[in-house]
Chains A and B, each alone.
Chain A
């Protein structure tokens, strides 16, 4: 089964769960006065769930044939591309998200930029480190001072 139909299967599961929530769980705790309303919070989701289940089935069962197109990246040979680099970068993004608050903006950002470039194969430390530091401080200054959005610059245990 091709990837697009696997995805349709997964989406069908999502839509079924959504439909179940809309049809069977939402109306129970509706306030009595709202029951007289012609539209309930669950009305629109009910319609959507039915339509979505029908269309996912159309793709899943292959009712609509699409001609094979030359894809930009062939997912069957994913290992031939720089998959490891992509996965490391994604992991770095998750770590960045988790560290942003506890470790502070300046440290997390410069570490992210340095490690990101390192992952992609950059080894010129004398260029890499200054660029990352300048970018981190520059963006922090812009966001904090110009846009006026607070971001904790330093790790939590240092203070501020």
Chain B
């Protein structure tokens, strides 16, 4: 491990990669602050830039920097304007905004920065410990298990989608898998479902789909319903926190970093759930008199979601780097970018290309440090971006989505596909269909089918499912994950209606 850390430091401390971290964090903070633009849109827009750099470590470092920056920027707008830019920072506005209203905006931002830093750093340390262990287990996996593992991952994403949403999330996942079968597969040299259209021969472009699913609907929502970006013109000052306050939030940060990390590891959970859960847990275990403070500007209530969401972001890298299975929309986009750069994340990554693995982990430390040093003094100035008029902002966002899709494929048909899918995605968003499962399904689809075919060929039929106990076990888990939420909802409903339980 020490050797790996040294390799990582060597790679991450090259001038180019240091600049990448700084640039990524700054870009992420700037754009993440804008309400309505989440980390997924920003990363989707940054992908063409990252891919054309050609160096996978640098690309991943840049994108990871953008990711942390976006989460951090999102908390800034939650605190100052009560307008979270990212779902993962909604919980930060519960206590952050009341603090800002009381004129303690500077203090709130400092606490957010420190909590994020601690969450991210502790998360990175845990990642360093857990990822190698998990990937050494994953090395004994067979393609049958990989297939089953992907099924588990996809069903977990559907299962965590929330009450009444499981079937919708499953539809979106299956739709993503279906879209992945369009074009020529790797195992069969034969075009499928192209309807004779030449432009579909190579399948749908992943960047086009990512833009259409996230960036375009968010931009359209901003057009349809303008958000009031004008905050109170208050001076941001008094960034210091007292020793007593630091003492009060230290255990909160420690607990929530651990909890957030493990929630982030679960597929489908991610930063949003981690931050809400972190907030709820801290409120429940706080002493009585402090519980009253929650929601009115409690420093603990701000520190908890902030450290939890950053730790969860780091945690979501564990399944990506060790199994090659993304647990969230953001890591799915990162996976797509890595595949485009000819790097396949998975258990072999640590053995074949340790410099990428360790450089990413090291860059997490550097990125967190950069965010702390760079953003604390710059926050009052960075917050000025919130006054960019939306008349300029929206055309530029739309233009960047178009450009991203065009550069990826150099094909104008791709732009029409982008607009078409974007309209579909907006309609799906109206009807409350989750969009991330579609993209995750789309990205995993190809790999899943390859592993499925390989297992079928090795066992000459479907027999691998019952001949390999581990595969069977994983598939059973997947079924339970999908069926359990609807069963429990049904039972809760039956109980509410006064029907006796027939145990």
| Chain A positions near chain B (C-beta within 8 angstroms) | 2-4, 6-8, 11, 15, 18, 21, 26, 34, 37-39, 41-45, 48-49, 51-52, 55-56, 58-59, 63-67, 69, 71-73, 75, 78, 81-83, 85-86, 89-90, 93-94, 96-98, 100-101, 109, 112-113, 116-117, 120-122, 131, 135, 139, 143, 147-151
On whether A18 and B178 interact (CB within 8 A), knowing A85-B223, A117-B395, the answer reads yes
Please name 12 pairs of A and B residues whose Cβ atoms are closer than 8 Å in the assembled complex, sorted by A: A4-B168, A41-B185, A42-B192, A44-B453, A48-B177, A59-B167, A59-B171, A65-B493, A90-B220, A94-B416, A116-B399, A122-B389
Closest CB in chain A relative to B213 CB, distance in Å: 15
In the complex, what distance in Å separates the CA atom of A39 from the CA atom of B185?
A: 13
Contacting residues of chain B (455-481) with chain A, CB-CB under 8 angstroms? 456-457, 459-461
In the complex, what distance in Å separates the CA atom of A7 from the CA atom of B225?
A: 23
Is chain B's binding surface mostly helix, strand, loop or mixed?
helix
On whether A116 and B178 interact (CB within 8 A), knowing A18-B193, A26-B192, A69-B432, the answer reads no
Whether A55 lies near B170 (C-beta < 8 A) is: yes
Q: Which residue of A lies closest to B459 (CB)?
A: A38
Cross-interface CB contact of A97 among B178, B391, B419, cutoff 8 Å: B419
Q: Which residues of A contact B276 (CB under 8 A)?
A: none
Q: Which residues of A contact B428 (CB under 8 A)?
A: 7
Whether A11 lies near B175 (C-beta < 8 A) is: yes
In the complex, what distance in Å separates the CA atom of A108 from the CA atom of B410?
A: 16
Whether A147 lies near B391 (C-beta < 8 A) is: no
Whether B392 lies near A8 (C-beta < 8 A) is: no
Q: Which residues of A contact B395 (CB under 8 A)?
A: 89, 112-113, 116-117, 120
Q: Which residues of B contact A148 (CB under 8 A)?
A: 52
Closest CB in chain A relative to B423 CB, distance in Å: 7
In the complex, what distance in Å separates the CA atom of A7 from the CA atom of B434?
A: 13
Whether B171 lies near A72 (C-beta < 8 A) is: no
In the complex, what distance in Å separates the CA atom of A44 from the CA atom of B486?
A: 26
In the complex, what distance in Å separates the CA atom of A66 from the CA atom of B486?
A: 10
Q: Which residues of A contact B432 (CB under 8 A)?
A: 4, 66, 69, 71
Whether A55 lies near B419 (C-beta < 8 A) is: no
In the complex, what distance in Å separates the CA atom of A64 from the CA atom of B403?
A: 40
On whether A81 and B225 interact (CB within 8 A), knowing A44-B181, A75-B430, A116-B394, the answer reads yes
Q: Which residues of A contact B226 (CB under 8 A)?
A: 82
Q: Which residue of B lies closest to A72 (CB)?
A: B221
Whether A44 lies near B449 (C-beta < 8 A) is: yes
Closest CB in chain B relative to A61 CB, distance in Å: 10
Cross-interface CB contact of A38 among B175, B221, B398, B461, cutoff 8 Å: B461
Whether B190 lies near A52 (C-beta < 8 A) is: no
Whether A120 lies near B220 (C-beta < 8 A) is: no
On whether A100 and B419 interact (CB within 8 A), knowing A86-B224, A122-B391, A147-B407, the answer reads no
In the complex, what distance in Å separates the CA atom of A48 from the CA atom of B177?
A: 8
Whether A39 lies near B457 (C-beta < 8 A) is: yes
With an 8 A cutoff between CB atoms, is B202 at the interface? no
Most buried by B among A4, A69, A101: A4
Whether B224 lies near A93 (C-beta < 8 A) is: no
Whether A66 lies near B412 (C-beta < 8 A) is: no
Closest CB in chain A relative to B201 CB, distance in Å: 14
Q: Which residues of B contact A55 (CB under 8 A)?
A: 167, 170-171, 174
Cross-interface CB contact of A89 among B164, B187, B223, B452, cutoff 8 Å: B223
Whether B430 lies near A71 (C-beta < 8 A) is: yes
Whether B396 lies near A120 (C-beta < 8 A) is: no
Q: Which residues of B contact A78 (CB under 8 A)?
A: 224
Closest CB in chain A relative to B227 CB, distance in Å: 10
In the complex, what distance in Å separates the CA atom of A121 from the CA atom of B391?
A: 7
In the complex, what distance in Å separates the CA atom of A67 from the CA atom of B162?
A: 11
Q: Which residues of B contact A147 (CB under 8 A)?
A: 49, 52, 407
Cross-interface CB contact of A96 among B220, B221, B225, B415, cutoff 8 Å: B415
Q: Which residues of B contact A83 (CB under 8 A)?
A: 224
Whether B177 lies near A72 (C-beta < 8 A) is: no
In the complex, what distance in Å separates the CA atom of A139 from the CA atom of B404?
A: 11
- Nearest 5 A/B pairs, CB to CB: A66-B164, A116-B395, A97-B415, A4-B431, A122-B391
On whether A120 and B394 interact (CB within 8 A), knowing A38-B460, A51-B174, A96-B415, the answer reads yes
Q: Which residues of A contact B170 (CB under 8 A)?
A: 55
Most buried by A among B224, B226, B418, B456: B224
With an 8 A cutoff between CB atoms, is B489 at the interface? yes
In the complex, what distance in Å separates the CA atom of A101 from the CA atom of B412?
A: 8
Closest CB in chain A relative to B52 CB, distance in Å: 5
Whether A73 lies near B224 (C-beta < 8 A) is: yes
Q: Which residue of B lies closest to A19 (CB)?
A: B178
Cross-interface CB contact of A139 among B221, B403, B489, cutoff 8 Å: B403
Q: Which residues of B contact A18 (CB under 8 A)?
A: 178, 193
With an 8 A cutoff between CB atoms, is B163 at the interface? yes
With an 8 A cutoff between CB atoms, is B357 at the interface? no
> Besides A65-B489, A90-B423, A116-B399, 6 other CB < 8 A contacts?
A3-B431, A7-B427, A44-B181, A55-B167, A64-B489, A72-B221
Q: Which residues of B contact A59 (CB under 8 A)?
A: 167-168, 171
Q: Mark B53-92, 1 if CB is under 8 A from A, else 0.
A: 0000000000000000000000000000000000000000
Q: Which residue of A lies closest to B423 (CB)?
A: A90
Q: Which residues of A contact B177 (CB under 8 A)?
A: 48
Q: Which residues of B contact A143 (CB under 8 A)?
A: 403, 407
Whether A89 lies near B398 (C-beta < 8 A) is: yes
On whether A75 and B431 interact (CB within 8 A), knowing A43-B456, A48-B174, A117-B391, the answer reads yes
